[in-house]
Amino acid sequence: MLKKRIIPAIDVANNKAVKYVQFRNPTVIGDPAELGKKYAEQGADELFYLDTTASVQKHDVKYDWIRRVAEKLYIPFSVVGGIRTIDDIRNVLRAGADKVGVNTAAVHRPELLTEAADIFGKQCVVLALDAKAIKNQHGETIRWEVYTHSAHTSTGMDAIEWAQQAEQLGAGEIVCTSIDRDGMKNGYDTALIKTLSKAVNIPIIASGGAGQLLHISDVFQYGGADAALVASMLHYQEQTISDIKQYLVEQSIHVRTS
């Protein structure tokens, strides 16, 4: 059985590590490289860096902070945000990242996923899927819609259908963020992750909503996630990665402990 991964998520704006709530109102929490090093030392399996301002402000990828992160880390890390072309992907990988995530650019030009997979391999290509629940008049979720530009722009696309298409095009894994849950600390959208996990055959990384240890075990046990992104719990020092993994072991969930 494959072991579940715990992946700290670090948002980056203007070369600083920040924390958002529902992709807005950033608070500076430190240096991306030093924060990543701390989490690696705590036992993180990977790290996920998101430049959430890049696609909104249309600025180019900033490579200096990526190089600094690569110098500090000995575990894999992914970079998402502002990636628009094959050259962007190539340069991010050259700067030291192990994987590159695309969202807005893939929605606008889906063949980018295929081109990237053909050149760099599927293992490098991550679809960053930001999804918002669409509810009926009774408040029940009927589907999830894809958003781009750091969750600021609605596309009208069905999130599950887009994930299936992305898998066929060449995405090696999907990091799915619930816009409704992001930074709210009230639990992952387990229904979204469960539906997604059943719809595709590539790893699903759950993102958005971890506020308690129970939330993480739930998204593994009931959502079928392969990995969980964790941010607030770590950034505000409510738990360490060691705490999280010890709890998961006690719940009979297989994680890497050494």
Catalytic residues: 11, 130
The neighbouring-strand residues paired with 16 are: 13
Structure tokens at 74: 């000995």
Between CA 33 and CA 55 the distance in angstroms is: 22
Cβ count within 10 A of residue 85: 15
Phi and psi angles of residue 48, each rounded to the nearest 5 degrees, phi first:
-130, 115
Q: Which amino acid is at 118?
A: D
Strands 16-21 and 5-13: antiparallel
Tally the C-alpha atoms within 13 A of residue 128's C-alpha that lie toward its C-beta.
29
Q: Is 62 exposed, middle or buried (0-12, 13-18, 19+ CB in 10 A)?
A: middle
